[in-house]
Amino acid sequence: MFDDADETAREYRNRYYSGIYGEIAESLIEGEPCPICGSTSHPHPAEKAADSVTKAQMEDAEKAATEKKEAWNQAEAERTEPCTTFGS
């Protein structure tokens, strides 16, 4: 079912962004502006998530979810199509 693939894609998206935030935080220098918010003070920088994934991994998960949803929609459309050959 596409729900599992969709959940995996959401999880990978969250893990990807958690990793990105940590990578940006690692490059922060006190007194210099943050590339995201512009603050020059960085009292609580994000930490890179240990389970972060790459952009390619996130995109692969999203593609798999989209393909499964499209296949499910196609099967559902075929299932609910009126039968025009009844009695043949």
The pLDDT of residue 50 is 87
Contact criterion met (CB below 8 Å) for 64 and 9: yes
| Residue indicated by tokens 């959940």 | 7
Q: What is the pLDDT of residues 17-26, one digit of tens each?
A: 989 988 899 9
Q: Answer left, alpha or beta for residue 47, where phi above 0 means left and psi between -120 and 50 means alpha.
A: beta
Domain locations in the chain? Answer: 2-79
Instruction: Indicate the pTM of the whole model.
Output: 0.64
67 to 3, 22, 29, 50: CA distances (angstroms):
12, 31, 42, 28
